[in-house]
Amino acid sequence: LLEFQFPCDSVVTGRGKINGRTVYVFSQDFTVFGGSLSLIHAKKIVKIMNEAMVVGAPLIGLNDSGGARIQEGVDSLAGYSDIFQANTLASGVIPQISLIMGPCAGGAVYSPALTDFTFMVRDTSYLFITGPDVVKAVTNEEVTQEQLGGAKTHTVTSVPLESTAAYNMKDVITELVDEGDFFEIMPDYAKNIVIGFARMNGRTVGIVGNNPKFAAGCLDINASVKAARFVRFLDAFNIPIITFVSGTAQEYGGIIRHGSKLIYAYAEATVPKITVITRKGAVQILFRGDKEQAKREEEYVELFSNPFPAAVRGFVDDIIEPSTTRRRICEDLALFASKKRENPWRKHGNIPL
């Protein structure tokens, strides 16, 4: 190994501008020792991470690494610990974005997992702790790289339930945001919840909405975790949260602890929070058999399944016409632009993990 020396080791680091904004970037070079991580490799990454935190600029990592450089032994592993610590300290201070450009194995997978957003290249990038050969040796199971850690594996975990609602929440969102431009995050994971970025009258906002088109918009475990993480990101970087809820009651189809993560995230957030309650969609009760029961169900819908009882009790601030939704959201964003609110001091809360 000592016979082959490369001035930059297996990573290139630096800063530049993307669309006029300063960003810090590191790019692992797979052509040099397979992009494996050495102690110098790690120090270079940690150095620009610290610089990015000082100036408040986003950090972008182009990951393409075979893991630790085994020739360096424990020094390489110590380098990983330095990177993981820097990732953790930077969380909530600067946005951290990971791009998986090729196979990433072993310890190389954990740093992207600690960042805010991770993007993968279809059919090219793979993210796995243990490769297919090791899996076959231990379990006698043959799997491909794509099956084990490909882009589809990390973005899709289950097939959504059959659609039981008539409209797609994404259609509602694109009608309301500036120029219909909505940047959705994790669109293929937990499709019953929609999260992403947009602008309202020029202001950057984060949008969360349960999608009746998939699983009737019910909040299951995956949807709750997906939304909770996004809400905490928005609050960390002082981005207002706009929530679209299809109905006044939400169902949790999973472990209570995971649903409470989303509740905790909303309750802890101090940024402006605006909620729009839409309709549930064409989920209708088919009245069959007992006419008296059907009549009572119709009476219940008339008395309670409308916004007026909630408005009378002060649970909603106003009942508006659909055509005024965008204008009202923009007005409220301007009104609360200078909102300042702090939670009581504490070392940290006990998140329901």
Q: What is the pLDDT of residue 307?
A: 73
What b-and-e string marks burial along 240-272, b requiring 16 or more CB atoms within 10 Å of the CB? bbbbbbbbeeeebebeeebbbbbebbbeebebb
The phi, psi pair for 146, rounded to 5°, reads -65, -45
The CATH code for residues 11-155 is 3.90.226.10
* Helix residue ranges, H only, the chain: 39-55, 74-90, 110-114, 132-139, 145-149, 151-155, 169-176, 221-236, 256-268, 291-304, 308-312, 325-335
Fold observed for domain 169-284+320-335: 2-enoyl-CoA Hydratase; Chain A, domain 1 (3.90.226)
**Per-residue pLDDT tens digits for 165-203:** 457 899 999 999 999 999 999 999 999 899 999 999 999
Residues 6+ apart with CB under 8 A from 286: none
**Per-residue pLDDT tens digits for 302-341:** 665 667 777 776 778 888 888 999 999 999 999 999 888 8
* Cβ atoms of 26 and 65 closer than 8 Å: no
> CATH 3.90.226.10: which residues of the chain?
11-155, 169-284+320-335
Please provide the distance, in angstroms rounded to a whole number, between the alpha carbons at the two ends of the chain: 44
